[in-house]
Amino acid sequence: GQNIDQPTEMTATEGAIVQINCTYQTSGFNGLFWYQQHAGEAPTFLSYNVLDGLEEKGRFSSFLSRSKGYSYLLLKELQMKDSASYLCASYNTDKLIFGTGTRLQVFP
Amino acid sequence: EAEVAQSPRYKITEKSQAVAFWCDPISGHATLYWYRQILGQGPELLVQFQDESVVDDSQLPKDRFSAERLKGVDSTLKIQPAELGDSAMYLCASSLTGGSYGYTFGSGTRLTVV
């Protein structure tokens, strides 16, 4: 079966660093996506990991360990606008399977 | 920047009525997906098209939902009759090669069934 787990909610302070974890157990795994979704809006692409290791893109970084079925999204220098839901999605064969999302609230 | 167009943006309908959503993917994107997202949850795949053919509709409640993509371009998702539990965001997404470079999502249709 397909199972993707991530925390439901997290809070952090402006300027801080936060790590959002995701574990997955899926068949036909080909890669791991992270999307950002503000309330009432469509998801927007953040990152894609195929190989093990860390991918850095500005304030956002994403890590993948295929052997452990584990990924995380690291957000640095948090800003108020980073308050959103962060969706972990496993790319399986030819489609994305999404987790339930982690709602991040950034406080001043 | 190319976008996936969806309409309407919002829809309120009464229980047992029919409702339809429209999606126009990015030009040249052969793969089109319809997802349903209940508030507080992640998107759930309803149906996947490759050109005009259905590739996966295993999670589509076929007794009330139907989807078509007649010319392999735009697509329509229909619900008849609508039920209270169908209240959700319906997201359309498209991709070039079946998703290996990620999807581009439309803005979604927020459906409220009363």
Q: List, for residues B17-74, the tens digit of each pLDDT value.
A: 999 999 999 998 999 999 999 998 999 999 999 999 999 999 999 999 999 998 889 9
Contact B29, B95 (CB under 8 A): yes
CA gap B112, A28 in Å, rounded: 35
pLDDT score for A28: 83
For chain B, say whether A41 makes contact (Cβ under 8 Å). yes
Contact A73, A86 (CB under 8 A): yes
Residue B101, both tokens: 């470079």
Q: Kindly calculate the radius of gyration of chain B based on its CA atoms and give it in whole angstroms.
A: 13
- B75-79, strands of its sheet edge to edge: B5-7, B19-24, B75-79, B65-68
Q: What is the pLDDT of residues A20-64, one digit of tens each?
A: 999 999 888 889 999 999 998 889 999 999 999 999 999 999 999
Nearest to A95 among B45, B105, B106 (CB): B45
- From chain B, the residues in CB contact with A99 under 8 A are 42
